[in-house]
Structure 1
């Protein structure tokens, strides 16, 4: 008969369950990071139309552009884009299908700058920015689409709620899966645990080998999950390079390290509470 080793229990099934659960958590963790970064980009990328006075000289337009760029809230990645009244008329004619310039006999539109601002989506902040841009000499009016702002705010609230709800569901499912796997595995060790109790072993002495093995298994399971998560993430970025703006290699590394740490903590916790339960059971309850 094969001798049982303290802290030893069916290894493969438990490791598979741990790896699968941590893979699920880690993959969703990357999804949550990407979703949050996308929401931030949407919320910080509000475009305003700075409409200019008529008959400004080229030098005045250049000076006005410089004044706009000097504001800290103006995007440095996307400087103000000049839109001439002729270009604006062509776009409107193409969109509406009607040549209003020929009908009116003149182009009523004005030159403008499309300005992208890097701020949150609070209406009060945007109104203050609108006031500051409008106070620049040579600016006729500043406009932005408030309905789009409201849609973004609504979508962000929805995304935030969904991410939080799914995070709770995924984490709870993973913990329950790991905990059940550990409890089933320790079931085969219940008589060995009782035997150690009967010979006078302290609770900590009994728990120590199980906890050590659990920590190692959790770390290994986290490592296996990390490898598969990294492969999935790298494959996704290779197929869609634009994802690199939402998920970086640092994010992948952080999630992988977190999976290893979380794996050890969850498994050790499950082992600790499961053994504590067996230590409190009466002999008849072990059968």
Structure 2
């Protein structure tokens, strides 16, 4: 008959459960972070179309561009893009498939600047004030931004935010329950050994120590395995879809990986501690 060692219990099954649960948490955390950043980019990346008066000279356009860039609400590092009426007509032709200039014999469109502003989608008053400030500039015919699109994006962001929060709570609770149940089932095989040590006078801390040490090691290893899998998935995704690198980077992955290791260690040690405490308080008849 194989002798039981204090603190030992089925290793592979428990480690697999811990790693799977932590990987699930880490992967969803990475997804939630990327989705949140994408939503923030959308909310702070509103574009206004500054339509110009006709027959402005190049000097007047350059002066107007400098005035536009001087406003604080214009996004830093996002140069306003000049769109001539010819370019606008070509873009419309590509989107509709029809050459309206040839049809009507004239191009009624105007030159414009596409200006990206760093104003949140929920700042209706600030958006309106910024629009008025741009329209007050000499040489500006009108300023356009799509209210319906803003409302749509705002509503979608609220829905996405609620879904992410809800799923985060659900995933976290499921993962913690999975780890806790795996530890409890593993320690069930040690209940009589725990009671035997208690009967010969061993203190509670002396009994708990080997289990806690083993639990800490398993939690850390489980977090490390989850981190390696997360690194592989994130690296493969960024390589396949380079645009993802604008939302997530190696620092993000590293921090989530570190969190996984710490969380794994903490949860496993906590589960071991409370499970052992439970068996120490149980009557002998209840162990059967």
After TM superposition, is the score higher than 0.5? Answer: yes
CA distance in 1, matches of 2:273, 2:138: 71
Distance of aligned partners of 1:91 and 1:14 in 2 relative to their CA distance in 1, 3 Å threshold? closer
Stretch deviating more after TM superposition (134-143 or 176-185): 134-143
Does residue 53 in structure 1 map to residue 53 in structure 2? yes
CA distance in 1, matches of 2:146, 2:153: 11
Where structure 2 has 5 or more consecutive residues not aligned to the other structure, the ranges are none
CA distance in 1, matches of 2:114, 2:93: 19
Cα shift at 1:210? 1.3
Q: How does 1:138-287 map to 2 (within 5 A)?
A: 138-287=139-288
Cα shift at 1:110? 2.2
Aligned CA RMSD, in angstroms, stands at: 1.8
CA distance in 2, matches of 1:91, 1:263: 53
Distance of aligned partners of 1:92 and 1:236 in 2 relative to their CA distance in 1, 3 Å threshold? closer
Q: What is the SS of the residue equivalent to 1:36?
A: helix
Stretch deviating more after TM superposition (45-54 or 75-84): 75-84
For normalisation by structure 1, the TM-score amounts to 0.93
Q: What is the SS of the residue equivalent to 1:19?
A: helix
Q: How does 1:11-30 map to 2 (within 5 A)?
A: 11-30=11-30
Cα shift at 1:57? 1.7
Distance of aligned partners of 1:102 and 1:177 in 2 relative to their CA distance in 1, 3 Å threshold? closer
For normalisation by structure 2, the TM-score amounts to 0.93
Q: What is the SS of the residue equivalent to 2:142?
A: strand
For residue 89 of structure 2, what is the aligned residue in structure 1?
Answer: 89
Where structure 1 has 5 or more consecutive residues not aligned to the other structure, the ranges are none
For residue 41 of structure 1, what is the aligned residue in structure 2?
Answer: 41
Distance of aligned partners of 1:16 and 1:106 in 2 relative to their CA distance in 1, 3 Å threshold? closer
Per-residue CA deviation, residues 108-132 of structure 1 (Å, 9 max, x unaligned), is 3322111111221122221122122
Q: What is the SS of the residue equivalent to 1:271?
A: helix
| Divergent runs of 4+, >3 A | 89-94, 100-103, 105-108
CA distance in 1, matches of 2:258, 2:91: 51
Residue correspondences, number: 286
Cα shift at 1:100? 5.6
Cα shift at 1:102? 5.8
CA distance in 1, matches of 2:264, 2:17: 11
Stretch deviating more after TM superposition (121-130 or 251-260): 121-130
Cα shift at 1:43? 1.2
